[in-house]
Chains A and B, each alone.
Chain A
């Protein structure tokens, strides 16, 4: 049986891992390779690296650190940040990343998803969706969330985008629920469950993890395939081995 995945997310800025609250006010958490190795040793199932300023700055990911990570890491990792073309994606994959994740550039030009899927197969193509509930109760997507001064609210409904992204060739969806991000009050189970019902590819929950129970709830109530978190892992508030023991005790299948 396929295990549920625990995925530390490392936001990268200027070659270092940073973390903000509600996508703002970033502080440095450590060096990329050091943190990657630490999480590998603790039993992380996968790592996600977001070059959070690449897209707002109109550039692609810095391949140097992708290669440094690939040399030492023996678990899968995904790289995101300003990938706008098949050539840029190829460079990141050839540097050693297993998957690439597109977010803002896919909103700029949705055809990008299909082009990437045709070039590398859907299994390499992750679509990240930054979603926030608007005053009218609808979840809609946000663009350029790495830079608060450039973040844009789009008219596109999150649920429509999740369906379209799959039709275009997304092999996995990461749903960043911005309303719960960084505040450690739990994943947005309501939104995740609604998206799950529309998502036939693996779905990864992001935003809001603060306690082991939050992971359990995302797996058992919203049936997500993986749960991504950053600050609770970086700060040591949750240790991955203990988290996995708790999940196993609760009947959630995880890799020991």
Chain B
């Protein structure tokens, strides 16, 4: 079966689903382990906090399943952070498929938290997920926690420090911004994921 959206309680599920539909993909919304396991592509959306997000995956019995997936997986926003080992947010143990610890932006006079708005996406590595991404492309971010730079970083964004805004580790991928709300750039990157 095609693309599934994991229903882990995030409020952006509707918008991600509409964005996929605009690309011609009808994604099923599911929390059923077998449906997720047999899907061609799995998207883990998420808005909210890491603790409740992981608690919800545990309640649904999806933690081990998510870790064991071998098809392309995309975490969006909080969903990307949940792919990491830990999050400082509520000191939460996450799925641990990407070797990173998610940390909070440190507030500075010119650095408001949450990081909310459009910021530039800068390519760090070549990857099919970034096909068509230009040198001056912007995406929409809303978050207070971020994934630090590392070998898994495909693209970065500057906000105080540079952080990883697109990541890839094996079959697990993540986008910190909201592709479903990032106009043409977001649609292109989502399409790239569907074509991986």
- Asked if B120 is at the interface of the complex by the 8 Å CB criterion, the answer is yes
A residues 79-107 touching B (CB-CB < 8 Å): 90, 93-96, 98-99
Nearest B-chain residue to A201, judged by Cβ: B112
- Asked if B167 is at the interface of the complex by the 8 Å CB criterion, the answer is no
Complex Cα gap A67–B21 (Å)? 14
Known: A75-B181, A123-B143, A202-B114. A70 touches B47 (CB 8 A): no
Cβ-defined contact, A5 with B113, below 8 A: no
- Asked if A255 is at the interface of the complex by the 8 Å CB criterion, the answer is yes
Complex Cα gap A90–B10 (Å)? 10
A residues 158-190 touching B (CB-CB < 8 Å): 171-172
Q: Which of the residues B11, B117, B186 comes within 8 Å of A120, measured between beta carbons?
A: B11
Interface residues on A, range: 35 or more
Cβ-defined contact, A74 with B115, below 8 A: no
Distance (Å) between the CB of A7 and the closest chain B CB?
10
Complex Cα gap A205–B47 (Å)? 26
Interface size on B, residues (CB 8 A): 38
Cβ-defined contact, A124 with B47, below 8 A: yes
Distance (Å) between the CB of B93 and the closest chain A CB?
19
Complex Cα gap A147–B19 (Å)? 36
Cβ-defined contact, A123 with B117, below 8 A: no
Q: Which of the residues B11, B13, B140, B144 comes within 8 Å of A76, measured between beta carbons?
A: B140
A residues 211-239 touching B (CB-CB < 8 Å): 225-226
Contacts of B184 in A (CB 8 A): 74
Contacts of B114 in A (CB 8 A): 122-123, 171, 201-202
Complex Cα gap A40–B186 (Å)? 14
- Asked if A152 is at the interface of the complex by the 8 Å CB criterion, the answer is no
Complex Cα gap A77–B48 (Å)? 17
Distance (Å) between the CB of A8 and the closest chain B CB?
15
Name the residue among B112, B116, B136, B144 with the largest chain A CB count within 10 angstroms. B116
- Asked if A148 is at the interface of the complex by the 8 Å CB criterion, the answer is no
Known: A93-B11, A123-B142. A225 touches B117 (CB 8 A): yes
Cβ-defined contact, B48 with A200, below 8 A: no
Complex Cα gap A121–B115 (Å)? 13
Nearest B-chain residue to A41, judged by Cβ: B183
Contacts of B49 in A (CB 8 A): 121
- Asked if A45 is at the interface of the complex by the 8 Å CB criterion, the answer is yes
Cβ-defined contact, A75 with B112, below 8 A: no
Contacts of A75 in B (CB 8 A): 140, 181-183
Cβ-defined contact, A3 with B48, below 8 A: no
1/0 per position for B1-29, CB-CB distance to A under 8 A? Answer: 00000000001111100110110000000
Contacts of B63 in A (CB 8 A): none
Contacts of B151 in A (CB 8 A): none
- Asked if B158 is at the interface of the complex by the 8 Å CB criterion, the answer is yes
Name the residue among B14, B48, B107, B115 with the largest chain A CB count within 10 angstroms. B14
1/0 per position for B143-170, CB-CB distance to A under 8 A? Answer: 1100000000000001100000000000
Complex Cα gap A31–B25 (Å)? 28
- Asked if A2 is at the interface of the complex by the 8 Å CB criterion, the answer is yes
Name the residue among A2, A40, A45, A96 with the largest chain B CB count within 10 angstroms. A2
Complex Cα gap A246–B161 (Å)? 29
Cβ-defined contact, B118 with A200, below 8 A: no
1/0 per position for A1-36, CB-CB distance to B under 8 A? Answer: 111110000000000000000000000000000000
Complex Cα gap A163–B140 (Å)? 26
- Asked if A256 is at the interface of the complex by the 8 Å CB criterion, the answer is yes
Contacts of A200 in B (CB 8 A): 107, 112-113
Contacts of A3 in B (CB 8 A): 117-119, 138
Besides the known contacts A98-B15, A200-B107, 20 further A-B residue pairs in the complex with CB atoms under 8 A apart: A1-B158, A2-B117, A45-B117, A45-B118, A70-B14, A71-B21, A72-B22, A74-B183, A76-B181, A93-B11, A94-B11, A120-B48, A121-B47, A121-B49, A123-B143, A124-B11, A124-B47, A200-B112, A202-B116, A256-B136
CB<8 Å pairs between A and B, sample of 6 = A74-B180, A75-B183, A76-B142, A96-B14, A96-B18, A122-B144
Residues of chain A touching chain B, judged by Cβ–Cβ distance below 8 Å, are 1-5, 40, 45-46, 67, 70-72, 74-76, 90, 93-96, 98-99, 120-124, 171-172, 200-202, 225-226, 255-256
